[in-house]
Amino acid sequence: MTEMVRLDRLAKRFGPVHAVEEVSFTVERGEVLGFLGPNGAGKSTTMRMLTGFLAPTSGTASVLGHDVVEDPIEAKRRIGYLPEGAPLYGDMTVLAFLRFIAEMRGLEGAQGRQRLDAAIARTQLEEVVHRPIETLSKGFKRRVGIAQAIMHDPPVLVLDEPTDGLDPNQKHGVRQLIGEMAEDKAIIISTHILEEVEAICTRAVVIARGRVVADERPDALKRRSRYHNAVRLTLNANLQPVLQPRLMALPGVRGVETVGAVNGVATLLALPEPGRDIGHPIADLIRESGVAVDELVVEQGRLDDVFRDLTMASSAH
């Protein structure tokens, strides 16, 4: 494992506002780190400090060992940044804009052309290179933003809400691109879209009120959910009164919720006591009782539920 990014007790105050209180984490090569938190938690401020756009009040950030304050040019060489909303020069064509970025990065001659072509190919912008940026769809504009971030082939990418405002197909395209680039880079994406974390992140760092409240793999985070190992059953609503009391009487079952009853079909959710496996006992009960159940699913857990618990708990302080 190669450590690519290190944040050590990074903090930022704007006058009386403690935007970031204390954030520490490291990111290794190959990781896609989802940086999560409610609005105003300090995600953008943290990313702006890491990318050298904002000076920290205290603490340090470094990229492949280069401190972003002490050694800003070397740190910036190793980082590509897609700012929130990806501001672009709208009246320039895609090609003119990306050429300008390549020049700014000091990429010239054959190497410059090769990097330009690679960035365009990677983000699949070939068909729109001669169009003014302002005439593009949001999905294409975002890809132009990503193309400028990867122009110098940086080992670290910082993407602030890369799929925000995109339609489902565009979201899918951008996520796929991030996944493809992840292998030899360290990628940090901020998002409040939890399905995104499940889809592409290998790790999730959750912040609330400027502090890290969780740093785990997404599946581990999901296991903290009260719905982890819950059993969802759908059956004819007439059979609910037969099955429900028996479910509630099973050892390990903490409670049974009715999720819905639509068109004569009831959906029940049996919740386990912490650490209990109730899937097998419930399957046995159904077999023995002979009650016809249409579907039985053991839930993995729900990130939205965990996210709410983590971020609400800390805002109560």
Ligand X SMILES: Nc1ncnc2c1ncn2[C@@H]1O[C@H](COP(=O)(O)OP(=O)(O)OP(=O)(O)O)[C@@H](O)[C@H]1O
Given the rule CB under 6 A, which residues bind ligand X?
A: 14, 17, 19, 37, 39-45, 192
Q: Which is nearer to ligand X, 36 or 271 (CB)?
A: 36
Shortest Å distance, C-beta 60 to ligand X = 18
Report the sign of the C-alpha dihedral through residues 163, 23, 215, 270, in that order: negative
In this structure, the dihedral spanned by the alpha carbons of residues 35, 183, 162 and 89, taken in order and rounded to 10 degrees, is 130
Q: Which is nearer to ligand X, 16 or 264 (CB)?
A: 16
Can you tell me the distance from the alpha carbon of 152 to that of 207, in angstroms, rounded to the nearest whole number?
30
Residue linked to tokens 């049974």 = 256
Amino acid occupying residue 173: G
Q: Which is nearer to ligand X, 17 or 259 (CB)?
A: 17
Shortest Å distance, C-beta 21 to ligand X = 10
Q: Which is nearer to ligand X, 13 or 254 (CB)?
A: 13
In contact, 34 and 204? CB cutoff 8 Å: yes
Q: Which is nearer to ligand X, 13 or 131 (CB)?
A: 13
Shortest Å distance, C-beta 132 to ligand X = 28
DSSP string over 59-85? EEEEETTEETTTSHHHHHHTEEEE-TT
Q: Which is nearer to ligand X, 40 or 179 (CB)?
A: 40
Q: Which is nearer to ligand X, 11 or 253 (CB)?
A: 11
Residue linked to tokens 């492949």 = 64
Tokens representing 269 are 């959710």
Shortest Å distance, C-beta 208 to ligand X = 9
Shortest Å distance, C-beta 39 to ligand X = 4
Shortest Å distance, C-beta 103 to ligand X = 30
At residue 144, φ and ψ (nearest 5 deg) are: -65, -40
Q: Angle at Cα 151 formed by Cα 197 and Cα 146, nearest 5°?
A: 35
In contact, 291 and 238? CB cutoff 8 Å: no
Q: Which is nearer to ligand X, 2 or 39 (CB)?
A: 39
Shortest Å distance, C-beta 306 to ligand X = 18
Shortest Å distance, C-beta 37 to ligand X = 5
- Going by C-alpha positions, the residue among 141, 145, 173 that lies closest to residue 159 is 145
Shortest Å distance, C-beta 215 to ligand X = 16
DSSP string over 176-236? HHHHHHGGGSEEEEEES-HHHHHHH-SEEEEEETTEEEEEE-HHHHHTTSTTTT-EEEEEE
Q: Which is nearer to ligand X, 128 or 189 (CB)?
A: 189
Residue linked to tokens 């290179």 = 129
